[in-house]
Copies of this chain bind each other. A is one copy, B any other.
Amino acid sequence: MSYKDLSTAELTALKVDLEYELAHYRSLDLSLNMARGKPSTDQLDLSEGMLTIFKSSQDLFAEDGTDCRNYGNLEGITEARRLMAFLLDDHPDNIIVGGNSSLTLMYNQIARFYDFGARGSKPWRKYDKIKWICPVPGYDRHFAITESFGFENIPVPMNEDGPDMDEVERIAASDECVKGIWCVPKYSNPGGVTYSDEVVRRLGFLKCAAHDFRIFWDNAYCVHHLYDEPENQDQLIDIAPMCKASGNPNRYVKFASTSKVTVAGAGIAAVASSSDNIAEFKERMSIATIGGDKINQLRHALFLHDGDGVTEHMKKHAALLRPKFELVQRKLSEGLEGVGECSWSKPNGGYFVSFNAPKGTAKRIVQLAKQTGVVLTGAGSTWPGGNDPYDSNIRIAPTLPPIEELEMALDVFCCCVKIAYASKLLGHDE
């Protein structure tokens, strides 16, 4: 049984009830937000010890004696590179630790390739049109970067094991103007998908028309499990060995940050790539900076220590996030029972649940929710240019609100979904 099996009379009656329910929510003057993947206050509190870690100037020296307060050290201090190597599944020698944002590192890397080319290749600015592969649903800020440089973002469907590799292979081989792909390979934004070994292998062995094709491997949720038991954690294999094995050792650029490990606005970000790429990146970076904030690097290294330290710390995040993600599952299952044509992801990690509403209703749902005081990520934002051709995908970000607020926001959300779907079936154009 689902809405589409109901008669017009039944649907009309149902919609009256739903609108009555929504009017009730509206009367509550809600102000709830499920829009962005921000950590909650109690998650931020987990890193209090990091922000109060230094007691005197004596504490401000790196393990090799570097005074972290002074200029220098383009690639970052040793202990921070080691820490980020754990997140990036790589060797510390292949790591550059940058500022507080992996997004900035990605933007800068696109900008450098655009202005100067990649390892001697023709600068991308010299092409009439650069094309970029964008698995969808995906991360709006990724798409915005490539769009801002005038690239044509080409959507490719995400499957349950990663991007549709047949499509990726076809597009990459079709045109030397296709220069790269955005990937969030683990607990993807928003679908929570982790790329299968086979998908990673096929990406590494991709036959590209462009010899300077680059895989932007944004491992934003590399250690962001919701469950402590290994059987409930996704595993991702490293892209680097695959690219090496295929004879394309410079094809990948990996990114990560501690934004959702320690504090979102004042973490440390890093890039990992082949030694040749790292040498190129450092040469370019040396014109733009003398080095990142080494004091913040040292804070992180002293607070998190090592891989084990990160793992233990992430369990504390998981304990706070798990009830929220489980609430989303419960509320959607209960609230949308018997509605039909809705589906959503059940991720083992990351920051989002990807919701597929009945086609043609996502914009209406987001609008109805907004009118009721619940802000969702804009409908379409998971597609390049904000254009979801099915008007279906909505990203639910349950991490920021306290759980009582989340519960109310999800009630409102389900009500909006049902109204929008009923309206669609009734042919109402509101």
Instruction: Give per-residue flags for A123-152: 1 if the beta carbon is below 8 A from chain B beta carbons, else 0.
Output: 001000000000000000100110011000
Q: List 30 A-B contacts (CB under 8 A).
A: A38-B70, A39-B70, A45-B57, A51-B54, A51-B57, A51-B295, A68-B266, A70-B264, A71-B265, A73-B265, A99-B99, A99-B100, A99-B293, A100-B292, A101-B289, A103-B288, A104-B288, A107-B289, A111-B111, A114-B115, A115-B115, A115-B125, A144-B287, A265-B291, A265-B292, A265-B294, A266-B294, A266-B295, A293-B293, A293-B296
Given contacts A51-B60, A71-B38, A266-B295, contact A115 B111 (CB under 8 A): yes
CA distance A70 to B293 in the complex (A): 18
CA distance A62 to B280 in the complex (A): 39
Residues in B neighbouring A296, C-beta threshold 8 A: 266, 293, 296
Complex: chain B residue closest to A123, CB-CB: B125
Residues in B neighbouring A48, C-beta threshold 8 A: 56-57
Chain B CB count within 10 A is highest, among A47, A56, A141, A293, for: A293
CA distance A83 to B266 in the complex (A): 20
Complex: chain B residue closest to A105, CB-CB: B288
Is A263 within 8 A of B69, CB to CB?
yes
A67 interface residue per 8 A CB criterion: yes
Instruction: Give per-residue flags for A43-73: 1 if the beta carbon is below 8 A from chain B beta carbons, else 0.
Output: 0110110011011110010000001111111
A387 interface residue per 8 A CB criterion: no
Is B69 within 8 A of A265, CB to CB?
yes
List residues 269-298 of chain A with CB under 8 A from any CB of chain B: 284, 287-296
Is A265 within 8 A of B68, CB to CB?
yes
CA distance A296 to B67 in the complex (A): 18
Q: Contact check: which of B56, B68, B71, B291 meets A52 at CB < 8 Å? A: B56
Residues in B neighbouring A103, C-beta threshold 8 A: 288-290
Complex: chain B residue closest to A52, CB-CB: B54
